[in-house]
Amino acid sequence: MDDEHAAAVRAAVSGDRVALETVLAAHLDQVHAVCRSLCRDPADAEDATQEALIAIVRSIGRFDGRSRFSTWCHRIAVNASIDELRRRKRRPDPADLSESFDHTQDRPDLDPEAHAIGTATRQGLRAALDDLPEEFRIPVLLRDVGDLDYAEIAEILDVPPGTVRSRIARGRGRLADALADSHRPEPENPDPDRPAPDLEAPQPAGGDQPSDGSGTSAGPPTSNPRTRHRTDRT
């Protein structure tokens, strides 16, 4: 923070309305960028940005200078975005993050299959981020979309830097696993219109001949013991 901006912040904290307008104008883009990285819909991002600015105006008198003013504003923007998402019952939009992983969109030289793979990757990443718990999703988005450093994210979320690194690493790991699962080919389903192959009937045990369909053996007839007995007597 340069001396002029620091002086404007101090004046705004003291109640100078002109200085407050100057400070808000200086941080508007950053606040909106944080809200946009977390909100699914642009209109939600705008609403969250307005709520964040209102919160900054209402609470600037309590800014004590223990953190950077930009970090303090980012923390308010994150809280406003989370509140907006909870009100709307929506999830953060990973569009920017997915596009940063996909380098096929601006490559007209790639064949349609490559573009299809890129689209599937973006869709898979959106679904994976939707399923990611908030404790991992928020720091991942702040780092990979908001481009904030670990120390600033730690201040925003009020957790130690080591916790931020751990959550980001675990969040990225879960995303990688989810993407790998989404790209794993599904087992082929049998064609219901395809006739079943003819299977050779199993041979009966004991070497008996297969049946001729009449319920009796197709092998040579055996003599009836009663008939043989009558023949022996005659």
Question: For residues 131 and 175, is the Cβ–Cβ distance under 8 A?
Answer: no
Identify the H or E element spanning 174.
helix 161-183
Q: CATH says 1-90 is which class?
A: mainly alpha
CATH 1.10.10.10 fits 92-97+120-185, yes or no: yes
- Which pLDDT tens digit goes with each residue over 105-122? 443 443 443 333 444 456
Poorest-confidence range of 29-43, 52-66, 146-160, 197-211?
197-211
Are 61 and 10 in contact by the 8 Å Cβ rule? The answer is no
- Backbone phi and psi for residue 19, each to the nearest 5 degrees, phi listed first: -65, -35
SS3 state of residue 137: helix
Count Cβ atoms below 10 Å from residue 226 Cβ, excluding itself: 8
- CB hemisphere CA count around 110 (13 angstroms): 14
pLDDT tops 80 at residue 232: no
Strand partners, 211: 217
Give the total residue count for the chain: 234
Q: For 16-72, give the DSSP string.
A: -HHHHHHHHHHHHHHHHHHHHHH-SSHHHHHHHHHHHHHHHHHHGGG--SSS-HHHH
Cα gap 108→191, rounded to integer Å: 36
Tell me if 81 sits within 8 A of 39, measured CB to CB: yes
Q: Where are the domains of the chain?
A: 1-90, 92-97+120-185
Q: Each residue of 14-60: pLDDT tens digit?
A: 999 999 999 999 999 999 989 988 887 889 999 999 999 999 999 99
